[in-house]
Structure 1
Amino acid sequence: MTRCGALAVEARFAHTRRQSSQRSLQVTETSSLAIPAFAAPTLPVADGNTQFPVRRVFCVGRNYAAHAREMGADPQAEPPFFFMKPATAVQHHGRIAYPTRTEDYHHEVELVVALSNGGRDIPVVAALDRVFGYGVGLDLTRRDVQAALKKSGKSWEMGKCADQSAPVSAITPVATCGHPASGAIRLTVNDRIVQQGDLADMILDVPHIIAELSTWFELMPGDLIFTGTPEGVGPLQRGDHLLAEVSGLARLELELV
């Protein structure tokens, strides 16, 4: 065998060994799981061809002064705060179920930020560089459960974390919509406007939200941030048709069943 022939044979053997090693690694990784692997929730990107994978869902509470006041808080004395929902609460267009353990399920329409990059202690001036795009979402809330837990001094996460309680529209990339700092945000239920405001009324704007949140968590690609709701929150009923809108972004349409 010539030297060139020997090298060709060795190259084929090396390729075969690499393939075998890769197959072995895949089998090992799969077989080491106690249950079948599951995929991350995804949201469509408004270009219609790609999906945005969702890692975590962060929410800002009382980020509009009028909403803080309608909830009995003083926006001057009590600044916005953060909480989380499970990523599995994310839902897109279609029908969503009225949850169990509540008779007072409330709507809260919000601008949603989708991150393409993250980090810790992100400077305000660099925060928007982390944004992939924006959507409109609903932070649906078991208000009676939340109120009872607050009154008893307990954590009220069960009021916020129902299945399908974080529906979000398709994500519009920054290249298409820019970074909306003002513009109408609105929720219509059964053709009646129930919430209406302007993004400019947020107490913390998007750069400051990202910067502050990154001091608590290392933000990561795939994270969503619900940025707070304007005034007008209220109860929903089975059979309601919801249309959530933010100027310049894809709309969110749902039916509650």
Structure 2
Amino acid sequence: METQNIYCIGRNYAKHAEELGNAIPKQPILFSKPTHALVYTDGQVISLPKDKGEVHHEIEIVLRIDRDVQKGDRVEDVVSEIALGLDLTLRDVQSVLKEKGHPWLRAKGFKNSAIVTPFWKFEGVESLKQVDFSFVKNGDVIQKGNIQNMMFDFQAIIDECAECFGLGKGDLIYTGTPEGVGPLHSGDECILYWGAEEKGRFIVE
């Protein structure tokens, strides 16, 4: 299925907002990435910017929308597959943009900034609550999360995106990251896990 739009939710886990010194949002913070930012993991080397300051990792559950979303649709009506992804951020660039009151696109939309694993069947929200997802860098667990800790659940996210932008077949939604974000460096070996199951890996260049 061809990707049409990539939408992302910022600060959807309270501890992540706190670790960056950000206020807890009262409604979902929405932003987007260009489709050129998307790259699938297959064990390959992924090139990241080297001259724009720190590139931070943010592991997230990614929803794939498989039909046009209408008002009142439930998550299970419009999502058949999920994946794990990394929303990468040029943190130094983002800090400057925030100080100036400018959009985040330069910090969030660069090539390879939307890393995603292969998708698998979505078994429903309740089943996802039983499994933690994690990001492992060079053998160490750096981030670990569970959707039970989201401030805005999948339904709220889908409703908000559909109302603000419209949602259709092929759209992806990055649903927010737990605490533990930090920089990636050249040579880092990165693995994304769903429970104990490896879903994707890559090496940073």
TM-score (norm 2): 0.91
AA paired with 1:79?
Q
Q: Report the counterpart of residue 57 of structure 1 in structure 2.
A: 6
3-state secondary structure, aligned to 1:213: helix
Q: Report the counterpart of residue 102 of structure 2 in structure 1.
A: 154
Distance 1:236 1:186 in 2: 15
3-state secondary structure, aligned to 2:164: coil
Distance 1:161 1:128 in 2: 29
Distance 2:158 2:203 in 1: 31
On the 8 A contact 1:181/1:205 being kept in 2, the answer is no
Give the 5 Å matches for 1:111-126.
Answer: 111-120=61-70, 122-123=71-72, 126=74
1:224 equivalenced with 2:172 (yes/no): yes
Q: How many Å apart are 1:247 and its aligned residue? A: 3.3
On the 8 A contact 1:172/1:249 being kept in 2, the answer is no
Indicate the structure with greater strand content: 2
Distance 1:96 1:213 in 2: 29
3-state secondary structure, aligned to 1:167: strand
Q: Report the counterpart of residue 107 of structure 1 in structure 2.
A: 57
1:74 equivalenced with 2:61 (yes/no): no
Q: How many Å apart are 1:119 and its aligned residue? A: 2.6
C-alpha distance after superposition, 1:67-126 (max 9, x if no partner): 011111232x54331100011211112221021541200000000000101234x32x62
Of 136, 139, 151, the residue aligned with 1:203 is 151
3-state secondary structure, aligned to 1:54: coil
| Bigger-Rg structure (1/2) | 1
Q: Report the counterpart of residue 135 of structure 1 in structure 2.
A: 83
Q: Report the counterpart of residue 15 of structure 1 in structure 2.
A: none
On the 8 A contact 2:142/2:180 being kept in 1, the answer is yes
Of 37, 45, 49, the residue aligned with 1:89 is 37
Indicate the structure with greater helix content: 1
Q: How many residues align?
A: 201
Residues 250 and 209 of structure 1, relative CA distance in 2, 3 Å threshold: farther
Give the 5 Å matches for 1:180-199.
Answer: 180-182=127-129, 183-199=131-147
On the 8 A contact 2:82/2:119 being kept in 1, the answer is yes
Q: In percent, how many aligned pairs have the same letter?
A: 34
Unmatched runs of 5 consecutive residues or more in structure 1: 1-51
Distance 1:117 1:157 in 2: 27
Q: How many Å apart are 1:171 and its aligned residue? A: 0.6
C-alpha distance after superposition, 1:121-170 (max 9, x if no partner): x32x6232000210000001100000011112222210001101111111
TM-score (norm 1): 0.74
Which has the bigger relative contact order, CA under 8 A and spacing at least 6?
2
AA paired with 2:47?
A
3-state secondary structure, aligned to 2:103: coil
AA paired with 1:116?
D
C-alpha distance after superposition, 1:173-227 (max 9, x if no partner): 23xx344541202110000111112111011111111111111012110000000
On the 8 A contact 1:134/1:249 being kept in 2, the answer is no
3-state secondary structure, aligned to 1:255: strand
